[in-house]
Amino acid sequence: MKFGRLIALTLVAFGTVHLLKYHSPLVLPSALADSPPSANAPAALPASAPAKPSALEAPAFRCEGKRYCSQMGSRAEAEFYLAQCPGTRMDGDGDGIPCENDSRW
């Protein structure tokens, strides 16, 4: 019975460490938190500067195991799958253009 408690305690400890290590919120150092917001604010971009997509933005598609053109909802999705997902069957001639014979687009 004591061995079971030891295993349970070990699992709880491991889970707690994992939770704290990988799921804790970002905490700013006290020096940054105490300074006025204007000191930490990034410089404003000129109005004519084009907006750049952020690296943190979620992609429009994700690999979900689709392999064939008939499973794609758009040409953009087919291009994403061909470039990013392994095991697709959408480029028969190997030229990098997916679903060339698909009449939907």
pLDDT digits (tens, 9 = 90+) for 54-96: 556 667 899 999 999 999 999 999 999 999 999 999 999 999 9
Tokens of 69: 């053109």
Residue 65 CB burial class (10 angstroms; 0-12, 13-18, ≥19): exposed
pLDDT digits (tens, 9 = 90+) for 21-64: 666 555 555 555 555 555 555 566 566 655 555 556 667 899 99
Reduced to 3 DSSP states, what percent helix, strand and coil does the chain have, rounded to the nearest 5? Answer: 40, 0, 60
Is the pTM of the predicted complex or chain greater than 0.75?
no
CA distance to 1, 2, 4, per residue, from 9 (Å): 13, 10, 9
Number of neighbouring beta carbons within 10 Å of residue 30:
8
